[in-house]
Structure 1
Amino acid sequence: MALNCAELPTWINSAVIPHLTNLYVTVLSLKTQHVETLGKFPKLLALDLTHYGDDCPLVVISGDAFPELTCLETTIALRFEPRAMPNLEHLEFSVSVKSLQDAHFDFDFRSLGNLPMLGNIRVEIRCHGARYRDFEKAEESLSHMVRIHPNRPILDIVEEEVDGMLYYDSELDDDDEVDEDIHDSDQTGEEVHGAAAHHIRITVYKR
């Protein structure tokens, strides 16, 4: 099922369509209760949730939510409680470094460790307006999560809008320069932030 609407319709709930397995939804307004409603579908396997509005809260996925979901693609910031999405294998999400910093998210992706079946993660990091050191924190936090996750998921990082990143001379030293060999599109060095190359791939789009 595919929807494009201002906000999630009230008839999208597990009581009306309990056997829903695939949902692709684009909304302008998204609230925490909308995600909670989606989490109650007992047979939902794949969810593509896109939010195009200006304000979207950090959403905490509670335990026992999305019991059968195996694939999630979304543009919203999520945290996962233990037992949430116990069968999730593939996760795609995008983050704005500046927005996360402004919201005091602190680039904490440790809750991904609560997804025991996670095998593949694709993250789009949007860099426009962000400080370089904050971008590095976000990337290192994701890489660290891969190293400590029991399932050692494959991490694919896509860097967007890198030309809009803010570089301050006072914050940069020789070690802070961007490594063009690593950041060439679809090219991976022997190590990226200390993680084995076959676990992490970094792609850069300078727009």
Structure 2
Amino acid sequence: MSSQGNVRRLSLQKIIKEEHQDAPLESVSMLQVRSIATFEPAIGLMPRLSSFVVLRVLDLSTCALVDHNLQGLWSLVHLRYLGLSDTGLCELPEEVGKLQFLQVLDVTGNWRIRKLPSSVTKLRRLMCLLYKERCTRLPGGIGSLTAMEELSSILGDSLSIVKEMGNMKRMRKFKIEFEHMSLELEEAFVKSLGEMSNLQSVTISIDGRYKMMDLLGEKWVPPQGLRELKSRGGRVCRFSRLPAWIRENPSQMSQLSWLEIGLTEVRQVDLRLLGRLPALQILLLECLRQGPLLVEADGFRCLTLFYLWSSSPGQVVFQPGALPKVERIALHTGLSVAKEEVDGNNGGDWFDTGIGNLPSLRSVNVVFCTSLLREEDANKATSALVTTLRAHPNSPGYDVNVEDIYSDDGEWL
């Protein structure tokens, strides 16, 4: 690097230790530097931050920062991108509000940051705010962040915060966690979601025992560009029945590729409707009960992962030609009282699930539930499936078990 020339992009990394590298690069002109990325342990080579008067991009991710490393940072008023992930920060200071042109702020990986400063709401150009999931409490006034497009996990128990989210009309991706849910809170959430016409991915997690989100299922009209409706840590978003926006016209959701929901009951008609989602690649379903199901050959053409868990499962049979791209199967299943109960099974082997018909299999996880089967039948079904999987041309990995799963025929709240 010439000490006489101006530098616009600077990457600092310290692979070989040399004596002349121990001091900061003060001799190099930094007046025109627009972008800096540095890696541990090269943080010691960083010139004073105040010398980068027109800096737009600063990435200090994975560098061990202490207070003196940040001296001059908050005077970099032209910053658009600030990467502080995995830097060991304990808190984000109020001075961050001085960075009026900031568009991306990333403080992920700093597990000791539990809350964000109120000055964050002054960053009116902020488009992406990323932080550790345990830092879920946002300051009041987040509705002023009208340029926001991506936001890490939000604790949605504050009615005012949920209402303010409706001002973020450009939102594309966010996660929200509800510890408690009320009708008023759900109404506000559905209304705010309705303002987000660019939404592509939303992760909804609900604590408490089996709280339904039927307003979300019946009143929300998702944008056609929605790609993901997800949950986190098993705290799935549950509905009394399949949401209206799937029941009424599943083909309209032409970009939905990931769907993770809970239903009171999964019926054959529900499976057919889900199979008509043209771009669906990942389907994770939970339910209280599920009768015999036939996964037919004319649906789920793009699906790669099929997961079905039920407190009271019936048999699941895969028709020849079904799920041509599925690589991973995970399900809790029983067996029919009689093989004729599964329409289309054509009187075949009672223990044949049809999983061997799936041409792209790589991984299989099946639990046969002895609460619904005689132990002898469950063991025969397990043996039959293992034999089928061992003969499969892909030699998929498998975990096939017999368990006494508690059968719950009650209702979710």
TM-score (ref. length: structure 2): 0.35
Shift of 1:29: 2.4
Q: CA separation of 1:132/1:160 partners in 2, compared to 1, >3 Å: closer, same or farther?
A: closer
Q: CA separation of 1:57/1:103 partners in 2, compared to 1, >3 Å: closer, same or farther?
A: farther
Is 2:8 the partner of 1:8? no
Structure 1 counterpart of 2:379: 136
Is 2:351 the partner of 1:107? yes
Structure 2 counterpart of 1:179: none
Tell me the distance in 1 between the aligned counterparts of 2:320 and 2:368. Answer: 25
CA RMSD of aligned residues (A): 2.1
For structure 2, which runs of at least 5 residues remain unmatched after alignment? Answer: 1-228, 231-236, 343-349, 406-413
Is 2:311 the partner of 1:71? no
Structure 2 counterpart of 1:50: 286
Structure 1 counterpart of 2:330: 92
Structure 2 counterpart of 1:40: 276
Q: Specify the code of the residue in structure 1 equivalent to 2:337.
A: D
Q: Is contact 1:67–1:87 with CA below 8 Å preserved after alignment?
A: yes
Shift of 1:6: 0.8
Tell me the distance in 2 between the aligned counterparts of 1:115 and 1:24. Answer: 22
Computing the radius of gyration from Cα coordinates, the structure with the larger value is: 2
Partner secondary structure for residue 15 of structure 1: helix
Partner secondary structure for residue 141 of structure 1: helix
Partner secondary structure for residue 244 of structure 2: coil
Q: Is contact 1:101–1:107 with CA below 8 Å preserved after alignment?
A: no
For structure 1, which runs of at least 5 residues remain unmatched after alignment? Answer: 163-207
Give a deviation string over 1:152-177, Cα, whole Å, max 9, x none: 21111233229xxxxxxxxxxxxxxx
Q: Specify the code of the residue in structure 2 equivalent to 1:67.
A: R
Tell me the distance in 1 between the aligned counterparts of 2:270 and 2:372. Answer: 29
Tell me the distance in 2 between the aligned counterparts of 1:125 and 1:30. Answer: 18
Q: Is contact 1:119–1:151 with CA below 8 Å preserved after alignment?
A: yes
Q: Specify the code of the residue in structure 2 equivalent to 1:47.
A: L
Tell me the distance in 2 between the aligned counterparts of 1:116 and 1:94. Answer: 21
Tell me the distance in 2 between the aligned counterparts of 1:78 and 1:90. Answer: 15
* Higher RCO (CA 8 Å, separation ≥ 6 residues): 1
Q: For 1:31, which of 240, 262, 267 is the aligned residue?
A: 267
Q: CA separation of 1:32/1:128 partners in 2, compared to 1, >3 Å: closer, same or farther?
A: closer
